[in-house]
């Protein structure tokens, strides 16, 4: 596994690559920066484009070690269009499990690849910003960034 830093507009991200796929993004500096390779360069390029409003979908190969339920949630999250949001309830309904709002929230909380799997696009029942691994200010930044570049 290789680990890299990325300077996002709101602070440092760390990302990890294994077997030519992105496996993790963290909102903290993990203190390691391995030698760049083709995939790490692609990830940096796509993140740069995203933060400049030039990329609305990522093409980075990802690999997830998650449960089937989490996988269904993450697929639903990836179907939320850039600049739009959904509630936890709407995601639960989309995955055909309308009573699973809390479980959807838990899957969001455990999302190993935030930003790429856009859990920042999921809001509370009243459209309020709730829970985000990078903090509410970061979630608000990402939501506003996407609305700005619609």
Active-site amino acid positions:
119
Burial of 55-83, coded b for 16+ CB within 10 Å and e otherwise, reads beebebebebeeeeebebbbebbeebebb
Q: Which residues contact 84 (CB under 8 A, 6 or more apart)?
A: 121
Instruction: Determine phi and psi for 92, rounding to 5 degrees.
Output: -60, -45
Report the DSSP beta bridge partners of residue 4. 15
């Amino acid at each position: 596994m290789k680990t890299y830093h990325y300077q996002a507009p709101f602070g440092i991200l760390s990302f990890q690559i294994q077997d030519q796929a992105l496996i993790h993004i963290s909102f903290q500096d993990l203190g390691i920066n391995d030698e760049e390779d083709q995939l790490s360069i692609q990830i940096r390029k796509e993140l740069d484009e995203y933060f400049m409003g030039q990329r609305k979908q990522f093409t980075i190969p990802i690999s997830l070690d998650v449960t089937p339920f989490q996988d269904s949630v993450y697929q639903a999250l990836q179907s939320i269009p850039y600049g739009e949001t959904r509630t936890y309830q709407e995601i639960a309904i989309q995955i055909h499990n309308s009573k699973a709002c809390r479980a959807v929230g838990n899957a969001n909380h455990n999302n190993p690849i935030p930003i790429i799997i856009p859990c920042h696009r999921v809001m509370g029942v009243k459209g309020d910003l709730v829970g985000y691994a990078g903090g509410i200010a970061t979630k608000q930044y990402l939501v506003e960034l996407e609305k700005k570049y619609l």
